[in-house]
A = this chain, B = another copy of it.
Amino acid sequence: MENGDNGKRKCKRFKEIIFKRIHILQWLPQYTKLDAVSDVIAGITLGLTMMPQSMAYATLANLPAQYGLYSAFIGSFIYVFFGTIKEVSIGPTSLMALLTLSVCRDLPIEFVILLCFLSGCVELIMGILRLGFLVDFISVPVVSGFTSATSVIIIMAQLKGLLGIKYNSQGIIDWAYKLYLHINKITLGDSLLGIACMIFLIAFKQLPKIKVKSETSKKILWLFSIGRNALIVLLTSLLACYFEQKWGKVPFKIYGNITRGIPDFKPPQFSTKMGNETLSFIDMVGMLGSGVIIVPVIAVLANVAIAKSFAAGKIVDATQEMVTLGLCNILGSFVQSMPATGAFTRSAVSNASGVRTPMAGLYSGTIILLALTFLTPYFYYVPSATLAAVLISAVMFMVDYEIIPKLWKINKFDMMVTIATFCASLAYGVELGLVFGVIISLIPLLKMWTRPKIKSQTIALQSGEMCLLLELQVGFLFPAVDYFTQETVKILNNFEKMHISVVIIDFSTVLRLDYSSMQSLQNLQKTLKKMSITTKFINVSEEVSAALEKYYRKDELVFCYSDSGKLLENSYKISFSKTNLNEQLPLLNC
């Protein structure tokens, strides 16, 4: 019987895990017709936005445009089954494109696909190891500085395409200087088209703000606004087509040939030839370097950040999101995808289009597959300046300058963090900027660890002795131990005239002890012993008391017990938090 129960329990547990991990099982049974209609509308809108965006992002990463499309469908499909947040759309993003460019600069395309595969593996491992908590160290000011810098970098990169010039640059100053050098190479056709597209996109974005009476007109305006990216690509491509038919020549750069068809499903290449050399897997990973870690970490960060911003109070299962992202990228690499993650811009489109479940991804992914099968010949005419305009208009509103005056009012240190992250990202790249921002934002917390506030007060014991009560406000961790010893001696010197013979250390905030803190505690005890002062502990948790008993010899350690023989816990706590302690306190019985 018991075996049967055990088996049942195991079976139930297994079901629970399957239910938790294959997330579609949770919402599909309740899927309604209304859900389906909403998801179809949202999915198609999303697909039409995704198509030009993906091509533009591939260009940003220095890849042929079809690779953007390859990266856009598999993530959409997989997210349907495993994803938890309905708004998230996995695919190429500006951030991933930038990172891919900086990791794989001048390397052949096999490296980009291998990077996608390895990123997926790292994401999966992070999910399995439950490293989601790492994301929590990225504070709002850091995210703000980082997002703004990314937007500025994308605008910088795309402005070149918009003006019809091409050069590589390192950092914002180099970019501006080279722009100045190339100023005479700006082509009139591209610039005019680019600026026209920008005006079109910004104007169409405002369409839903126009006050109209009829509901139908409202909906039409909204559709034009949402579909503006696809629309401008269509219009300008027709224009290019027209120019070629009429003049045999197009007065601006057009995209050129895009390989047609759905990519083969095959594993990424684990060795490749470069020049005359054959590179092994190890060589390739070596050339990708720290990118193998940085790309997935940033991808996870971006994805969890989006998930959080749309979850609105719901619990985001960071582990599940990491596992899903890992699967998307691993399988993505089998269809020659570049590294993918959730995109802010597309998630906003999903949200605005009234998405109901992750099912929408099925429709957006299908749109991309249809585009690859049937539309690629027409992409020949897509003007480069149009793609640049699509990207610039998508990110220009993500530069978060509004946070600065807010932070100035609320927390000037956080303002400094935002500005520092922004500047470091512009100067040294977004990865380093992010790491730098995280380190700076940890400084006040680290400072709190090394220089914790210590509450102290004197108190009379039942035995008639005078005693000093000490409490550390953030526990007793190794960075604080030396400071605590110093301060204790200082406090004792201040109370010299009171003939203190006992020091009681309140351990109620102490959640753990490490070797350094125990060693220092022993040193403190020895120092106090030389001054003929006994050290005692109070409010010691069982875990900490077990750790102390391992380190100390029995006779070195004195805890305070209550009359009932239990470690003094609450009775003391009451007294210590009273300000008028000396009057009301029952004498301590240590």
A residues in contact (CB < 8 Å) with B = 133, 136-137, 139-141, 308, 312-316, 406-407, 409-411, 413-414, 441, 444-451, 453, 473-475, 477-483, 485-486, 489-490, 508-509, 511-516, 518-519, 523-524, 526-527, 530, 547, 550-551, 569-570, 573-574, 577-579
Contacts and interface: CB of A to CB of B under 8 A. Distances in A.
Q: Which 6 A-B pairs have the closest CB atoms?
A: A313-B527, A140-B516, A414-B515, A139-B516, A133-B450, A139-B478
Nearest to A475: B474
Given A313-B524, A514-B444, A136 B480 contact: yes
B448 A511 contact: yes
A577 B579 CA distance: 16
A144 to B, nearest CB: 9
A410 B518 contact: yes
Contacts of A312: 523, 527
Contacts of A523: 312-313
B315 A490 contact: yes
A514 to B, nearest CB: 6
A509 B509 contact: yes
A411 B508 CA distance: 21
Nearest to A515: B414
22 contacts: A133-B479, A137-B450, A139-B478, A139-B479, A140-B478, A140-B516, A140-B519, A308-B482, A313-B530, A315-B490, A316-B482, A410-B518, A410-B547, A411-B547, A414-B514, A444-B512, A445-B479, A448-B511, A473-B511, A474-B474, A570-B579, A574-B578
Contacts of A485: 313
A470 to B, nearest CB: 16
Nearest to A315: B486
Contacts of A308: 482
A90 B152 CA distance: 50
Contact of A133 (B410, B451, B489): B451
A515 B570 contact: no
A450 B313 contact: no
Contacts of A519: 140
A410 B527 contact: no
Contacts of A489: 313-315
Contact of A514 (B133, B411, B578): B411
A452 to B, nearest CB: 9
Given A313-B524, A514-B411, A515-B411, A473 B139 contact: no
Contact of A509 (B315, B410, B473, B578): B473
A137 B136 CA distance: 21
Nearest to A526: B313
A511 B527 CA distance: 30
Contacts of A474: 474-475, 511
Contacts of A577: 508, 569-570, 573-574, 577
Contacts of A137: 446, 450, 479
Contacts of A410: 515, 518, 547, 550-551
B450 A515 contact: no
Nearest to A524: B313
A313 B444 CA distance: 27
Contacts of A314: 489
Nearest to A574: B574
B313 A139 contact: no
A574 B575 CA distance: 8
A526 B312 CA distance: 9
